[in-house]
Chain A
Amino acid sequence: MSTPGETGTEAWPLWEVFVRANRGLSHVHVGSLHAPDADMAVRNARDLYTRRNEGVSIWVVPADAVTTSDPDAKGAFFESPAGKNYRHAVYYTKSEGVKHL
């Protein structure tokens, strides 16, 4: 299932845009835009999403190339971690008061 917004019927495809705000940070999704090809998508993304130095790097991905988890599965798909609080450090209380632990 692709990202929402791509109808597959428009003259220019939809692209999802990701921007790295600064060195040391991940690219983060900022929005989407229409463009005829990847080069134009990068240029349009620069003009649309980085008019005020918001980024040092841009990714564009065709919206129909993005696969998302099944929205109807809702909670079930993410059920596995539920009840497994032993995966979190706060589960272990006996070390309370012991330094550097």
Chain B
Amino acid sequence: MTAPADLTVVENEAAQARFDDLIAQDSRIEPRDWMPDAYRKTLIRQISQHAHSEIIGMQPESNWISRAPSLKRKAILLAKVQDEAGHGLYLYSAAQTLGIGREEMMQQLIEGRARYSSIFNYTTPTWADMGAIGWLVDGAAICNQVPLCRASYGPYGRAMVRICKEESFHQRQGFEILLELMQGTEAQREMAQDAVNRWYWPSLMMFGPPDDESPNSAQSMAWNIKRFSNDDLRQRFVGMLVPQAEVLGVTLPDPNLAWNEERQAYDMSEIDWTEFHEVLAGRGPANAERLRRRREAHEEGAWVREAAAEYARKQALKQQSAA
């Protein structure tokens, strides 16, 4: 890693100027480049939180793998959950290029010192939740993530390109689940609508607090990590949802949702941010359960990791003595 302490003041100024220059040109910062400490810290936090979200995000859906309504749906769900694991791994690798270790990040997560997207602290009581998660949660994620493909930190942007390619399958399969339910029996339609009612607001909260309460946004935008504000992305997402909801035949649970001709955007109700802060503070429906399961999986897998490392060590020794 670059050690800023070793640089003289003059060298530091030159390095900062070069960094500023690259950002001004909308170029990319690569792992070996000098970067301000705050930029490095912001990225480590953002990328590792993002990775944790993917890893924890496997849980609400894994709940339905054994109960999927058909073999086809089970195979699709398995592939999707495997993708989430993959996305977590791409992102951990990207974060590591900034100087944090994989094991350190794992520890932060299982000890409850790291955050992940609060959306995964909601439970998935019905099959329709698989549809609503794909359509709304993955939809919001895509909306957030597409601009991140152009994030100024090279490894992050490259990881996001891979992730976005894979996410579009996730959203479409969710839409399809809901569409099939909406074309089914009355009970199935109710199940689909109920899931949409429960996931709509939490998915809008995924974009983060309103712009005037998002203190780090301006700096992230100045560094070209973030390209659009939380409220802009949220607005864009709602604009995409409305016609999709019409195709599905579901109602979005906001009585004040209406097209505003003057603003050329949708008006909507105020978001209940107390709920958001409660879930963020660890008091959501499944916070404790998610962490407990993650910790268990980590601990129960310890013997596999140790055995594999020991096998590799012995094989290497054998090869050495044979040579």
Interface residue ranges, A against B (CB under 8 Å): 4-5, 7, 9-12, 14, 30-34, 36-37, 40, 47-48, 51-52, 68, 71, 74
Indicate if B32 sits at the interface (CB-CB under 8 A).
yes
Q: Can you name the residue of chain B whose Cβ is closest to the Cβ of A9?
A: B101
Q: Mark B248-277, 1 if CB is under 8 A from A, else 0.
A: 000000000000000000000000000000
Q: Can you name the residue of chain A whose Cβ is closest to the Cβ of B94?
A: A31
- Are B308 and A40 interface neighbours, CB within 8 A? yes
- Are A14 and B96 interface neighbours, CB within 8 A? yes
Interface residue ranges, B against A (CB under 8 Å): 1-2, 18, 31-33, 79, 82-83, 86, 89-90, 93, 96-99, 101-103, 158-159, 162, 166, 305-306, 308-309, 311-312, 315-316
- In the assembled complex, the Cα of A12 lies from the Cα of B307 at a distance in Å of 11
- Are A36 and B2 interface neighbours, CB within 8 A? no
Q: Can you name the residue of chain B whose Cβ is closest to the Cβ of A30?
A: B162
Assess A71 versus B32: contact at CB under 8 Å? Given A12-B308, A36-B312, A48-B89: yes
Query: What's the count of A-B pairs with C-beta under 8 Å?
Result: 64
Q: Can you name the residue of chain B whose Cβ is closest to the Cβ of A14?
A: B96
- Are A11 and B31 interface neighbours, CB within 8 A? no
Question: 15 other contacts beyond A9-B101, A36-B309, with CB at 8 A cut-off?
Answer: A10-B101, A11-B103, A11-B309, A12-B308, A14-B96, A30-B162, A31-B93, A31-B158, A33-B93, A36-B311, A36-B312, A37-B312, A48-B86, A51-B79, A51-B83
- Are A37 and B315 interface neighbours, CB within 8 A? yes
Q: Can you name the residue of chain B whose Cβ is closest to the Cβ of A63?
A: B96
- In the assembled complex, the Cα of A33 lies from the Cα of B89 at a distance in Å of 7
- In the assembled complex, the Cα of A12 lies from the Cα of B50 at a distance in Å of 22
Assess A51 versus B86: contact at CB under 8 Å? Given A4-B32, A11-B305: yes
